[in-house]
Structure 1
Amino acid sequence: MKVDWTRAFPTARIDSIAVVLLSISISLSLFSCAAVEAQGRPERLRVIYSAIGSSQSPIWIANEAGIFKKHGLDVEILYVAGGSRAAQVVLAGEAPVAMFNGSSVISANLAGADLINIASGMNVLPFLLVVGPSVKQIDDLKGKKVAITRFASATDFALRFAAEKWPVKPDKDFTVLQLGGQPEMMAALKSGAVQGAMLNAEFAIMARRDGYRELVDVAALGLTFPGSGLNTSKTFVKNRRDTTLRVLRSYVDSIHYGITQKKFAVGVFAKYLKSQDQPFLEAVHEMYLGKYIPKIPYPSTESMKRALDDIAEKDPRAKSWRAEQFIDATLMQELEKEGFIKQLWR
């Protein structure tokens, strides 16, 4: 499978990525670099989530349950659609930590960045190709338009992985459009602007209720892939390791809280997914916190290697890298050594 990751990170200069960021219509000021003050005032920083999908739910729960504050942080969470764009925000120094997929970590580093994955979110791709009435089978995609969030995003990877054995190919037989986020893809599908969309499980369920059909379930194809995980820069870890550890404690704590406090977590899903459909919300909770998101989210070398191997088919620079270079498991190891994880799950 050949994904053109250079469409997301076209140059080898970090300053060029920062220039790209200037065009993003979000108003972000630099995060506070001050350490926690002597009187114990929480440290302020921003954390990015990159999808309106429950893969991002540990960040939502940590925010809503006061878990960041519990660990000495005053966090503002912000939505930036798509993994490649979220990576650009981190690289530009607008937020030190973000949730996005591992392929965006790899692509950015091949272009000269120093991003690192410190915790896995999911090691599967919970996406489904949802199609309109004009598409009955794979062959019907010929001449059609299919939506993803961003080039080099997890949705892009999912589409191209699924298409490996199809008789029709993306870019050659059908057009692939990057639309930004799940809500935008859903709207385009409903309006007829696209005939297919790589939706996450939540939006796929909603689309099904509106009469659309799931053509391919990517999660069922058996792919190990570094889905949305917790990422930062090596520089941030080096200079502010204590802060990074507190972010990681918050992340791990929120997974535990989301699993053990189901009613609260379902309420958080309702807020961020903008739904009051209780059966739907409970199904989403079970799917993500009961199945997809690991309780102890160690970075996965295996899934990162899968993404790296795929990128190497298109970008020869990737062949000189090892999967281990894109992860830092020492932070999770430190939490385990100090007894934090055992205390949570006792």
Structure 2
Amino acid sequence: MKRTLSRRQFTLLAAATVAAPALRAQGKPEKSKVAIAVGGKAAFYYLPLTISEQLGYFKAEGLDVEISDFAGGSRALQAVVGGSADVVSGAYEHTINLQSKNQVFQSFVLQGRAPQIALGVSPKAMPNYRSVADLRGKKIGVSAPGSSTNMVANLVLSRAGLKASDVSFIGVGTSAGALAALRSGQIDAMSNTDPVMTMLEQKGEVRIISDTRTLKGTQEVFGGPMPAACLYAPLEFVQKNPNTCQALANAIVHGLKWLQTAGPSDIIKTVPESYLLGDRALYLASFNKVREAIALDGLLPDEGAKTALKALASFEPTVKPDRIDLGKTYTNDFARRAKEKFKA
């Protein structure tokens, strides 16, 4: 016997079908306990992560998030590759680098729309510095070898005709250890994030030679928009845990929305005291410098992915643009839903 649907049944069925993706997006996280590895949590580079954690936005999404801090992004990535963490809060370009080594990782929410990294030389160690060529044979401090700070330094060196092997890179972290390394003369120059670089700059302890802390500076260094910090994970994790990734993206986008209207006193009240590196005024001065570099809605621009690939390929021989499928390195599906939810 052939069953026919009444108009009312048909309307209800159609409505349920349309609602299904929305219901799925708000489903219970498959994994409520999530381990996130980050390289240099006190840096402004990862401020959205800290804000979302401190204001309880992960908990509000039904997540129990454990954040482990490492010296730099490359170390945080090792934690996920080794299985001791699920998700990396790190630089987007790592997903491109990984694909060139046949490992597929995917970014699913953006935290920063500019790298917020400055490269500077020590006037004490290099009083006669004239051009990037003078860095040959020098020691350059980076958060950790292979990290984003290292990538920016490599790019600046390659444009001046120098190879990474023409200098020595030394991992110094992103906070008090980095300040100490430069001040004690262990390094001659440094590529690092804020608040560290602004603190050194304001005290005349570093002379900035390349700056991606603003959108304009980023455009000058990279020739286009350059996505920075994001949450990324093995593609398999993203596919198996869509509700978990949605909850993580929701929490970050909620944090990004809060940051758009937060005043300096709100930031000071929210971040841990140790992040201020003992100087509240300088911390706020550096926040004002990088504010525009913070993402607005968690979406990664297609143009930005192309800029990152071009930048990496310019000094990384293993990265062959024709062999990279950029579409696999990021998805905006989760951020788009989060943006709609929070009107970011």
TM-score interval (norm. to shorter)? 0.7 to 0.9
* Number of matched pairs: 301
Q: Could you tell me how far apart the structure 2 residues matched to 1:211 and 1:286 are?
A: 19
- Structure 1: give runs of 5+ residues left out of the alignment: 1-34
Once the two structures are overlaid, the 10-residue window that deviates more, 182-191 or 96-105, is 182-191
Q: 1:340 offset after TM fit, Å?
A: 0.4
Q: 1:76 offset after TM fit, Å?
A: 1.7
2:335 partner letter: M
Q: Could you tell me how far apart the structure 1 residues matched to 2:296 and 2:319 are?
A: 35
Partner of 1:324 in structure 2? Answer: 327
Structure 2 counterpart SS, 1:340: helix
Give the TM-score normalised by structure 2. 0.78
Q: 1:169 offset after TM fit, Å?
A: 5.0
Contact 1:98 1:232 in 2 (8 A): yes
Counterpart among 91, 95, 105 of residue 115 in structure 1: 105
Partner of 2:50 in structure 1? Answer: 60
2:154 aligned with 1:154, yes or no? no
Deviation string 1:226-283 (CA, Å, 9 cap, x unpaired) is: 3111112221221111111111100000112233343332233452524353322322
Partner of 2:208 in structure 1? Answer: 215
Counterpart among 261, 284, 287 of residue 285 in structure 1: 287
Q: Could you tell me how far apart the structure 2 residues matched to 1:264 and 1:294 are?
A: 18
1:294 partner letter: A
Deviation string 1:38-91 (CA, Å, 9 cap, x unpaired) is: xxxx92222222123111011111111111111111112221222222222222
What are the within-5 Å matches in structure 2 for residues 1-346 of structure 1? 43-51=32-40, 52-132=42-122, 133-135=124-126, 136-138=129-131, 139-166=133-160, 170-172=164-166, 174-219=167-212, 220=217, 221-223=220-222, 224-262=225-263, 263-269=265-271, 271-288=273-290, 290-313=291-314, 314-315=317-318, 317-336=320-339, 339-342=340-343, 345=344
Give the TM-score normalised by structure 1. 0.78
C-alpha spacing 1:261/1:215, structure 2 compared with 1 (3 Å):
closer
Once the two structures are overlaid, the 10-residue window that deviates more, 159-168 or 111-120, is 159-168
Q: 1:310 offset after TM fit, Å?
A: 3.6
Contact 2:142 2:149 in 1 (8 A): yes
Q: Could you tell me how far apart the structure 1 residues matched to 2:271 and 2:61 are?
A: 22
Contact 1:97 1:232 in 2 (8 A): yes
- Sequence identity (%): 19
C-alpha spacing 1:281/1:267, structure 2 compared with 1 (3 Å):
farther
**Cα-Cα RMSD:** 2.5
Once the two structures are overlaid, the 10-residue window that deviates more, 267-276 or 184-193, is 267-276
Q: Could you tell me how far apart the structure 1 residues matched to 2:199 and 2:270 are?
A: 18
Q: Higher Cα Rg: structure 1 or 2?
A: 2
Q: Could you tell me how far apart the structure 2 residues matched to 1:275 and 1:194 are?
A: 20
Structure 2 counterpart SS, 1:212: coil
Q: Could you tell me how far apart the structure 1 residues matched to 2:114 and 2:151 are?
A: 12
C-alpha spacing 1:280/1:270, structure 2 compared with 1 (3 Å):
farther
- Structure 2: give runs of 5+ residues left out of the alignment: 1-27
Deviation string 1:174-229 (CA, Å, 9 cap, x unpaired) is: 32333444543322211111111112131112113443122313222342323111
Contact 1:266 1:285 in 2 (8 A): no
1:329 partner letter: N
Structure 2 counterpart SS, 1:171: helix
Structure 1 counterpart SS, 2:165: coil
2:144 partner letter: R
Once the two structures are overlaid, the 10-residue window that deviates more, 220-229 or 163-172, is 163-172
Q: Could you tell me how far apart the structure 1 residues matched to 2:57 and 2:281 are?
A: 26
Deviation string 1:118-174 (CA, Å, 9 cap, x unpaired) is: 1222232222222221323335433321112233321112112222343655422x3
Structure 2 counterpart SS, 1:113: coil
